[in-house]
Amino acid sequence: MYEHDSPRTRLEQVLAQRHMTVDDFRLSYERVCGESLSERQAYRWVAGVLRSLPYPKAQAGLEQLFGEPAPRLLGPPHGVVSPLARSSDRRPGAVRSGLSREDWQSLLLARSAERARAFLSIAEERNVGTESVEQLSDDVRRLARAYPTEPLETLLQDIVEVQSRAFGFLEGRQKPGLTRDLYLMAGVASGLMAKASHDLGAPHEALTHARAAYTCADNAGHDGLRAWTRGLQSLITYWSGRLEESLRYAQRASDAASRSNGTSAVWLISNEARVLAALGRVSEAHHAIDRATAARDGVHSDELDELGGLCTFNRPRQLYYAADAMRWCGQIEAETTQRLALEALDAYESAPADDHAFGDEAGTRCALAAARVEQGELDGAAEALTQVLTLPVSKRIQGIVSSAEFVHQSLRRIDDTSQVAAELTEALHDFGSTRLALPS
C-alpha cells in the first residue's frame, strides 16, 4: 500500500496496521470532524512533512479516530528505526544516510519543541500564563520575519495555527497584565492572515482578517497596530482596484500613525501616493512621496518595527512604492519611474537579508519594465523582468501577478509588432496564467 519500506510516522504505521488507504483515512476524518481533508494535507500528515501541529480541531479529530495524542501520531513510528536515522554504518558518530548528524539532531529538536509548545497550550489553557504568551510572541515574530522571503505555502499552516492559538488564549482567562500583549499578538497574527488571504487572491477574506486585527488593536490600545492594520486594508483594496476606499484607509490612520511614530506612518503615506497616482492625481502623488520622505526622518521604532519583516517598512520598500506610484503616470513620468526603481533595486542589493522581500523586489522590476516599455526600450524591459518571469508558482502572489499584468497592458498600448514585443507579451501571458491561488 505504501511506497516506503518502513513507516515515516506513527500515523502511517497505524494506517498500515488497520489496512487503511489514505483515501480511507480522509473519509473517516471527514465523518468525525465534519470537514474535508485535502489529499495534499493528508499525505503531509502521513509523511510527517510538518512545521507545526495542525490546528486544535484537527488534532482532536486525529485523536478521536486513532485513540492516541496527535503529537504522537504525527511523530516517529513505534518500534521502527526512522528512515532518517538509518545508516549502513551504525558506529557511534557515523553520518546518517541522507542527512547529516546535525540535520537529524535538528529534526529531533524541532519535534521536541513542537511537543513543548503543545504542552504549554494545554497546561495554561484555562489560565494563560507568561510562558505561553512569550512562546506565542516568539512564533509571531518568526512568521512576521519569514513572510517577505519564504513561499506562502511553507508558512500558511503555521500562521493559521498561531492565530487560532492567540484567539483561544483570549477566549480563556489571563492575568490582566497579559491581556494587552495577547491582543497585540492576535492582531499581528490576524494581519499576517489578511496578507496571506490577499496574496492568494481572496480580498474578501483578507479584509475580514484585517478587521479582526483592527479590533485587537483597539482592545490593546496600540496605535502602532492600528496604523499597521489600516496599512494592510489600504494595500488590499489598492490591489483590488477599490482606489477611493484604499485612500480612505490610508488617510484615516494618520492620527494613530503620528502618535506611534513607527514606520507604519511612512507606509501609509507611501500607499497614499500610489493610490493618488492611480487616480490620476499626479501632483498630489508627488507631494505624498515627498511627505513620506520627510516622515522617514521622524521615525522612532515601535513594537511592530521590532517584530521586523512584514511589520516594518524599510527604505528599499519605500522606494519601491514611489516607483510603483509613478508607473501609473505613463510616459510623462517614465524617467522618474525608472530612476526610483533603480534606486530601490540598488537599496535592496545593499540591504541586509532581513530587509529583502521577494514580492516588493519583483514589483520594483515590474515598475522598471513598465517605464522602459513607455520609453520604447523593450530589450531593457525584458531584462528587467528576467527574475520575475522565472519565479516559481509558489511565489506568484497577487501583487506580483497584477504588476506583471500592468506591464502586459502597457505593451498592448504601444502596439509594437517586433519579435521582442511578441515574445515578451507571450511570456507575460504565460506568467499570469499560472499564479498562486486558493484551490478551486
Average pLDDT over every residue of 344-355: 92
DSSP H helices in 34-69: 39-47, 56-66
* Cα–Cα distance for residue pair 68/252, rounded to 1 Å: 51
Looking at this protein, which amino acid is placed at residue 46?
V
Cα 49 to chain centroid distance, Å, stands at: 19
Residue 222 — φ and ψ, nearest 5°? Answer: -110, 105
Q: How many CB atoms lie within 10 A of CB 248?
A: 16
Measured CA to CA, the distance from residue 186 to residue 291 in angstroms comes to 31
The answer to whether the predicted template modeling score (pTM) of the entire model surpasses 0.85 is no
The residue among 372, 315, 361, 297 whose CA lies nearest residue 339 is 372
CA-CA-CA-CA dihedral for 386, 388, 392, 393, to nearest 10: -140
The predicted-structure confidence for 243-271, as pLDDT tens digits, reads as follows 999 999 999 988 898 898 899 999 999 99
CA distances from 347 to 55, 302, 319, 342, 384 (A): 39, 23, 8, 8, 16
Alpha helix (H) residue ranges in 253-357? 254-260, 264-278, 282-297, 303-307, 315-326, 334-350
Question: Taking 90 as the threshold, does the pLDDT of residue 225 lie above it?
Answer: yes
pLDDT (tens digit, 9 = 90+) per residue, 280-291?
999 999 999 999
pLDDT digits (tens, 9 = 90+) for 276-324: 999 999 999 999 999 999 999 989 888 999 999 999 999 999 999 999 9
Phi and psi for 396 in degrees, rounded to 5? -90, 70
User: Residue 341: its pLDDT value, please?
Assistant: 97
| 368 burial type by CB count under 10 A (0-12 exposed, 13-18 middle, 19+ buried) | buried
Domain ranges of the chain: 1-80, 329-440
- What sign for the dihedral angle of Cα 273, 207, 196, 143? positive
pLDDT above 60 (res 166): yes
Neighbours of 214 (CB within 10 A): 22
Q: Work out the mean pLDDT of the chain and round it to a whole number.
A: 84
Confidence label for 440 from pLDDT (cuts 50, 70 and 90) = very low
96-112 pLDDT, tens digit per residue, is 333 333 444 455 555 55
In whole angstroms, give the CA distance from residue 291 to residue 271: 12
- CA gap 162, 138 in Å, rounded: 10
Check if the beta carbon of residue 135 is closer than 8 Å to that of residue 297.
no
Task: Find the DSSP H helices in 308-357.
Answer: 315-326, 334-350
Q: What percent of the chain has pLDDT over 70?
A: 85
Report how many helices (DSSP H) and strands (DSSP E) the chain contains, helices first: 22, 2
CA 320-322-326 angle, to 5 degrees, is 115
**Averaged pLDDT, 59-65:** 85
CATH 1.10.1450 fits 1-80, yes or no: no
